[in-house]
Structure 1
Amino acid sequence: MKGVTEALRSGSRLAEDYICSRDAARGLYEYDIHWESELDRRAEWLDQSEDTRINRQDLVEYLRIYNKRLNPDDAVQRSLDRLADENALVVTGGQQSGLLTGPLFVIYKAASVVAAAREAETRLQRPVVPVFWIAGEDHDWDEVNHTYLPDTQGDIVKLKLHGRFEGRDSVSNVKVDTEQWMTSIEQVEHLLPDTVHKPSLMKLLVDIHNSSSNLSDAFARLIAALFGKSGLILMDAASPDLRQLEQPVFERIIRENDILREAYLHGASLVKEAGYDMPAEVADDGANLFYIHGGARLLLLLKDGLYTDRKGLVSFSEERLLQELAEHPERFSNNVLTRPLMQDSILPVVAVILGQGEISYWGLTRTAFTQFGLQMPILLPRLSFTILEDVHQKHMNQYGLSFQDVQYHLEEKRDQWLADQETFQVEEQFSQASQAIADIYRPLLDQITAIHPGLDRICDTNSRKINEQIQYLQNQTNKAISLKHQVGLSHWNGIQNALFPMNKPQERVHNALYYLNRFGTEWIEELIQDQREFRGQHQVIRL
């Protein structure tokens, strides 16, 4: 599956400069994006630092239990067997769980992890296994409780998980009942057109959600259905059993909090000195940890020697916080700055797959890695695609549109096309008519006002109503022209909703179910097999 490379707009100058190997960004990272030449050096460091990570066998045992429940494919068990070997390395990446897997880029990120692991193994000639972590510890429920699918007309429809979910608990702890799942799945069945793949896809969705009591488990089972056969290992960052294994790392983060905070502040100063905007908040009093209290995930601060939150709901001395960690490790979680340290304290990460926003905030962490006795891994931008269906390619050809036209100039091009369809120039004709009426009518109004000053207000009202009627007729004329050309306009709207729905890249809006229903699942493995380079390029692909 070969794609055509097309530039896609990005909101992160730091990530773009890293991808382009520009000097200003280069100093903020350990390795260069040209990872082929960096793999041996990274692998050597991981071999020398095996004892800095948590016990490999304990980790594998936890992963066996978790994946047996949610991701039981034989290929996954073989990956776990390989991970138990101290010679094995990992390519990893992750994402918060989302309804029905969320937007397409989540699928591309998982595919990136598998593809990069295969490529690294080929180059290093040693086991490299793919691991995808689910950020079930995140608490922004409103960000993950919905997704988008096109309806039969191609218009974008928002599917939202119905129900009231109070508080700010971790997503993995929010319970969802069967009725709530089924309401969403009924919407999916209504929106998806009938295809040869639909019956099996709908059965899969029903079976998965009947077996899941929270969003993270449902997400894991769907990812497993798509990637289990590729050997992708899953882990939930909010799992209490994993927290137990991570407890010594959290203890280090707490004991060395002052050192780490200074390291992050130093990283922030380096980002600023390089001329970039701050990609994430680095607070002078930040402890860079969350604590779960009463169903809410609270960001901890360090003030006057006490760990507390902004509202003062909790307050711990260091000794008391460490005691709480020993008794309840499941109540602790990382923020975006300490999560990279945790990841590399438990996994032998040769490379990590990241989105551009993640690449940016990782630029704050190099000093912290060093202070924590670790080394920042190789960072690889995730694969990025726009799926172009035949019907939309046909219409783009019909109207002479390029991908960049659709990205940046579609409204302008559409309006020009519509104007070209009519010899009757609406704007020009009505402008001339308005001016002609004003030229005739204004002298009359002046004479009427001279008869009696009190008629001035009536003249103004009369003139305004005439203009309103002219504008009304102009609007109705435009509507009539649009109706006359509604088939063509539906083509333009179809292109917009397919490639840049809601004025965003397709991969950030569309759910994968639409394409799984239309094309089946084989295209995902084809996509993985065809990827060898990770340079942050965006590809337009045909299925």
Structure 2
Amino acid sequence: MNVVSDSLKSGSALADNYINHFSQVQELYGNDFRQKESWSSRAAWLDESEETRVNRKSLVDCLRQYNNKHNDHKVVHNSLDLLEQTGTLAVVGGQQSGLFTGSLLVVYKALTIVLAAKEAQEKLQRPVVPVFWIAGEDHDWDEVNHTYVMTPDLQVAKIKMDSVPGPRDSVSHINLTPGQWNKSLEHLASLLPDSMNKPEIMEMLHQAAEESGNLSDAFAKLLGRLFGEMGLILLDSADPLLRKLEIPVFERIINQNDELGQTYQRAAARITGQGYPLQADVTSDGANLFYIYEGNRLLLQKQDGSFTDRKGIVSFTKEELLTQLKDHPERFSNNVLTRPLMQESLLPVLCTVLGQGEISYWAITKDAFPVLGLKMPILLPRMSFTLVSGTLRKYMAHFGLSFQDVQHRFEDARQSWLNAEAGLHIDPKFEETRSALEKLYEPLIRELGTIQPGLISLGEKNKDKILEQISYLERKTKQALEKQHEAALRQWDQIYVSLFPMGKPQERVYNTFYYINRYSFGWIRDILGSCSSYTAEHQIIEM
């Protein structure tokens, strides 16, 4: 396994500047993750602010019960024992619970959390544990109910869990039937090529499904199988036991909701004032909390002194909302702007591992932390990888393609190669023909117009038909050329579909078990071993 660094196109200008040009956005964030002083000063502040977080023992008791069910590994229990001790810090990152763990970026986020915790422990000479925050309270079912693999005929195949009828509840509260699981599992089994690893993969997935009532539980069990031996603690944000511990935090969010909202609006103005788009909605009347009513997760807003949802299904005064919180904490849930505050109130977060979209919207929350007596943690960009097989690397070398060529210039490079193979520059020759025709036709049409004005229109239509025929001949020529070089062009297609399926980075599309099927379960640990240290640079892994 060889590892080389190469840049990957960014989906966020703000996150790109945070990673590569921090001085340009320092005002929006504060701490620079690259500076050693940021880590030591953050650790010192966490020591001083122990009382601002929930009781460690109560938190660990809750996490122990959850991990006993889904992530029962000796090393995880060691991590929990450490977390219970005052002075232990945590590296935290999270993701929604996707089908069969979802795309590769979930695994890369977990890898980053584990590696960053190990490095921070060595750097600070004190215990640091890795924690994965499963965003089970999210309710966007369509975002988590599917995953993708590549088929032998180079198609990107979607595996989808059947839709769930009923209200829009949190993913962790949506019950799934054996029939729903079996249909998705059978579809995956039909798409994965036979390999030495396939029986073990399918057995693991079937076991996780049989032992899980919902997508989040299965997600946790699979993450536990992949990362439990690395000491990764799992947390589900929809855990009812956890929600009870969060009551005091929700109280502060409700009592100081107006002040929090003002900080979000000021931050949003700063961000857009610097020319960056907002990655999360910020409204003047937003309460940034969800209330679960009859299974529906309703986003609350403030209207005429009350907390209500957009459709007016529920409405509470502040006092009534606080009473609801006391009596029914399980009905409350965070949104993207209050979740960072909740994470900070629960755990001694040394740093939080984030994707680029998350880095962008966390900028909105910077000034909200002090309202609750907190500070924004260090934001550590998730490590990013592209897996390249030996065969794929040979194809790229044969065609003289770099990773950047595939990423930015693929179609042009493909057509240039095809033209060179044919010894014919199709595009310029046909363009030259079209241009010559128009130069000859235009004077002729003008002269015909002196005979009869109606001939101008007829001439234009005639010219357009001839140009259409030239374009038709051009398409047929390209098709014939592609047919002649069909085998080589399939190699070109394999390069692109492997690295940028659907035009997106590989890590955002393909499922982890597609690669485990090909390279065995050991490839995840191999990547961790091949990374001598954390880096924010995108890395090409030559398998």
Per the normalisation by structure 1, the TM-score is 0.92
1:431–1:254: structure 2 CA closer, same or farther, 3 Å change rule?
closer
Q: Distance in 1 between matches of 2:483 and 2:125?
A: 63
Please say if residues 93 and 110 of structure 1, whose CA atoms lie closer than 8 Å, have aligned partners that are also in contact. Answer: yes
Percent of pairs with identical residues: 49
1:41–1:425: structure 2 CA closer, same or farther, 3 Å change rule?
closer
1:64–1:464: structure 2 CA closer, same or farther, 3 Å change rule?
same
Partner amino acid, structure 1, of 2:262 = E
The one-character-per-residue Cα deviations of 1:4-40 (angstroms, maximum 9, x if unpaired) are 1111111222222222353231122232111533222
Q: Match for residue 407 of structure 1?
A: 407
Q: Match for residue 77 of structure 2?
A: 77
Local SS of the residue matching 1:175:
coil
Q: Which sits farther off after the overlay, 444-453 or 12-21?
A: 444-453
Please say if residues 35 and 378 of structure 1, whose CA atoms lie closer than 8 Å, have aligned partners that are also in contact. Answer: no
Q: Match for residue 376 of structure 2?
A: 376
Partner amino acid, structure 2, of 1:344 = E
Partner amino acid, structure 1, of 2:321 = L
Local SS of the residue matching 1:421:
helix
The one-character-per-residue Cα deviations of 1:28-57 (angstroms, maximum 9, x if unpaired) are 223211153322211111111111111111
Local SS of the residue matching 1:147:
strand
Q: Match for residue 230 of structure 2?
A: 230
1:541–1:435: structure 2 CA closer, same or farther, 3 Å change rule?
closer
Cα-Cα RMSD = 2.8
Local SS of the residue matching 2:30:
coil
The one-character-per-residue Cα deviations of 1:76-123 (angstroms, maximum 9, x if unpaired) are 111111111112111110001111111111110011111111111111
Q: Which sits farther off after the overlay, 225-234 or 146-155?
A: 146-155
1:448–1:178: structure 2 CA closer, same or farther, 3 Å change rule?
same
Deviation of 1:158 after TM superposition, in Å, equals: 1.2
Q: Answer yes or no: is 1:33 the counterpart of 2:33.
A: yes
Question: Residues 46-61 of structure 1: matches in 2 within 5 Å?
Answer: 46-61=46-61
Partner amino acid, structure 1, of 2:418 = L
The one-character-per-residue Cα deviations of 1:383-432 (angstroms, maximum 9, x if unpaired) are 10011111111011001011110110000000111111214555567678
Q: Distance in 1 between matches of 2:468 and 2:14?
A: 51
Q: Distance in 2 between matches of 1:448 and 1:313?
A: 72
Q: Which sits farther off after the overlay, 211-220 or 452-461?
A: 452-461
Question: Residues 349-498 of structure 1: matches in 2 within 5 Å?
Answer: 349-423=349-423, 426=426, 471-498=471-498
The one-character-per-residue Cα deviations of 1:332-367 (angstroms, maximum 9, x if unpaired) are 111111111100101011111111111111112221
Please say if residues 385 and 541 of structure 1, whose CA atoms lie closer than 8 Å, have aligned partners that are also in contact. Answer: yes
Q: Match for residue 195 of structure 1?
A: 195
Q: Match for residue 294 of structure 2?
A: 294
Local SS of the residue matching 1:364:
helix
Give the number of aligned pairs. 543
The one-character-per-residue Cα deviations of 1:268-287 (angstroms, maximum 9, x if unpaired) are 23334544333322211111
1:16–1:427: structure 2 CA closer, same or farther, 3 Å change rule?
closer
Q: Match for residue 174 of structure 2?
A: 174
1:422–1:52: structure 2 CA closer, same or farther, 3 Å change rule?
same
Q: Distance in 2 between matches of 1:36 and 1:21?
A: 17
1:420–1:302: structure 2 CA closer, same or farther, 3 Å change rule?
same
1:437–1:55: structure 2 CA closer, same or farther, 3 Å change rule?
closer
1:522–1:443: structure 2 CA closer, same or farther, 3 Å change rule?
closer
Partner amino acid, structure 2, of 1:191 = L
Deviation of 1:165 after TM superposition, in Å, equals: 3.5
1:534–1:30: structure 2 CA closer, same or farther, 3 Å change rule?
farther
1:166–1:457: structure 2 CA closer, same or farther, 3 Å change rule?
farther
1:426–1:277: structure 2 CA closer, same or farther, 3 Å change rule?
closer
Please say if residues 445 and 455 of structure 2, whose CA atoms lie closer than 8 Å, have aligned partners that are also in contact. Answer: no
Please say if residues 354 and 379 of structure 1, whose CA atoms lie closer than 8 Å, have aligned partners that are also in contact. Answer: yes
The one-character-per-residue Cα deviations of 1:150-201 (angstroms, maximum 9, x if unpaired) are 0012321111112344432111112221111111111221221122111111
Gaps of 5+ in 2: none
Partner amino acid, structure 1, of 2:48 = Q
Q: Distance in 1 between matches of 2:123 and 2:153?
A: 47
Q: Match for residue 16 of structure 1?
A: 16
Question: Residues 120-269 of structure 1: matches in 2 within 5 Å?
Answer: 120-269=120-269
Q: Distance in 1 between matches of 2:435 and 2:335?
A: 63
Q: Distance in 2 between matches of 1:486 and 1:447?
A: 48
1:532–1:243: structure 2 CA closer, same or farther, 3 Å change rule?
farther
Q: Which sits farther off after the overlay, 341-350 or 154-163?
A: 154-163
Q: Distance in 2 between matches of 1:100 and 1:223?
A: 9
Deviation of 1:146 after TM superposition, in Å, equals: 1.0
Partner amino acid, structure 1, of 2:149 = L
1:113–1:448: structure 2 CA closer, same or farther, 3 Å change rule?
closer
Please say if residues 290 and 333 of structure 1, whose CA atoms lie closer than 8 Å, have aligned partners that are also in contact. Answer: yes
1:479–1:75: structure 2 CA closer, same or farther, 3 Å change rule?
same
Local SS of the residue matching 1:199:
helix
Q: Distance in 1 between matches of 2:50 and 2:517?
A: 44
Local SS of the residue matching 1:77:
helix
Q: Distance in 2 between matches of 1:91 and 1:442?
A: 70
Local SS of the residue matching 2:368:
helix
Gaps of 5+ in 1: none
Q: Which sits farther off after the overlay, 233-242 or 519-528?
A: 519-528
Please say if residues 168 and 297 of structure 1, whose CA atoms lie closer than 8 Å, have aligned partners that are also in contact. Answer: yes
Q: Which sits farther off after the overlay, 282-291 or 521-530?
A: 521-530
Local SS of the residue matching 1:363:
helix
Partner amino acid, structure 2, of 1:209 = A
1:430–1:112: structure 2 CA closer, same or farther, 3 Å change rule?
closer
Q: Match for residue 285 of structure 1?
A: 285
Deviation of 1:218 after TM superposition, in Å, equals: 1.1
Please say if residues 249 and 345 of structure 1, whose CA atoms lie closer than 8 Å, have aligned partners that are also in contact. Answer: yes
1:454–1:85: structure 2 CA closer, same or farther, 3 Å change rule?
closer
Q: Distance in 2 between matches of 1:457 and 1:181?
A: 63
Q: Distance in 1 between matches of 2:11 and 2:229?
A: 35
Partner amino acid, structure 2, of 1:368 = A
Please say if residues 25 and 274 of structure 1, whose CA atoms lie closer than 8 Å, have aligned partners that are also in contact. Answer: no
1:324–1:426: structure 2 CA closer, same or farther, 3 Å change rule?
same
Deviation of 1:489 after TM superposition, in Å, equals: 0.7
Local SS of the residue matching 1:205:
helix
Please say if residues 33 and 39 of structure 2, whose CA atoms lie closer than 8 Å, have aligned partners that are also in contact. Answer: no
1:466–1:173: structure 2 CA closer, same or farther, 3 Å change rule?
same
Local SS of the residue matching 1:28:
helix
Deviation of 1:326 after TM superposition, in Å, equals: 0.9
Please say if residues 22 and 32 of structure 2, whose CA atoms lie closer than 8 Å, have aligned partners that are also in contact. Answer: no
Q: Answer yes or no: is 1:338 the counterpart of 2:338.
A: yes
Deviation of 1:295 after TM superposition, in Å, equals: 2.1
Q: Match for residue 112 of structure 2?
A: 112
Partner amino acid, structure 2, of 1:522 = G
Please say if residues 220 and 234 of structure 1, whose CA atoms lie closer than 8 Å, have aligned partners that are also in contact. Answer: yes
